[in-house]
Amino acid sequence: MTQNATTALRRYSAKTDVGCVRDINEDALVAVPELGLWAVADGMGGHVGGDFASKTVVDALEALPHDLTPVDIMHAARDTLQTSHAAIRQEAARKGNVTIGATAVLLVLSEAHFMCLWAGDSRLYRLRDRKLVMVSHDHSIVGDMVEAGQMTWAEAEHHPHSNQITRAIGVGDVLEIDKRRGDVMPGDRFLLCSDGLTKYADDTMLQDMLCMSPIETAAEHLMQIALDGGGRDNVSVIVIEV
């Protein structure tokens, strides 16, 4: 699935793909530029329900009223993730208490600020003045080690526990959602993606591609990095330009 669109102040491109190995796409994405809202969800659970989990998250976000103020959107988005958590847990119980869940990263843009909500290892980056910074941090065993300064992201990719996340929507009794805010400047680009991209592209590769690519094809070009690298996971990419 590919999306490209232009609003009064923001242009974006979005793409999700099953990859080269998997049978189903457990990723899902949502773009509601009228609300300044974009999100990527990466399902876990395989044929049991990973696609159900990610779709539950994005369907709920897409259903938000389009007349909300930026402040209301932020509160409503957080509530929606909690509601999705409960719905996914209910489905997991119905299937015999199997593990179903989804990581998710969500971006809300207003005229001068952004807010990021996330749970898991789907990521948000911001490119400003040709320099890329990761806004979110991974809720994973290695992500915690990187945050503590015990290793770099390059080292984390080769750690034996690199795929073990510590937080997901639908997993565990209580969902903890992290939040970060920041300012927005003209020319900023934001990248939301599932780990199907970052398994194949380090920060330098992401930065170079975001600097070089027109916004209309940025998501497609980033997607191609993962597919050319083997595409062993589903891949979802959204790029927004302010």
* Tens digits of residue pLDDT in 181-209: 999 999 999 999 999 999 999 999 999 99
Please report, for the domain that includes residue 136, its CATH number.
3.60.40.10
Instruction: In the chain, count H helices and then E strands.
Output: 7, 11
Identify the pLDDT of residue 150: 67
Instruction: Show the domain range for 105.
Output: 2-241
Count of domains observed in the chain? 1
Site of tokens 């992500």: 143
> From edge to edge, which strands make up the β-sheet containing 178-183?
27-32, 37-44, 101-109, 113-119, 178-183
Q: State phi, psi for 204 to the nearest 5 degrees.
A: -65, -45
Length of the chain: 242
pLDDT along the chain (242 residues), means of 10: 62 97 96 96 88 97 93 94 98 94 96 95 97 94 68 64 83 96 96 96 96 97 97 97 96
pLDDT at 70: 85
Give the pLDDT score at 160: 60
Sheet containing 2-6, strands listed edge to edge, beginning at the edge strand earlier in sequence: 2-6, 11-17, 235-241, 189-193, 123-128, 131-134
Per-residue pLDDT at 235: 98
Query: Residue 73: its pLDDT value, please?
Result: 94
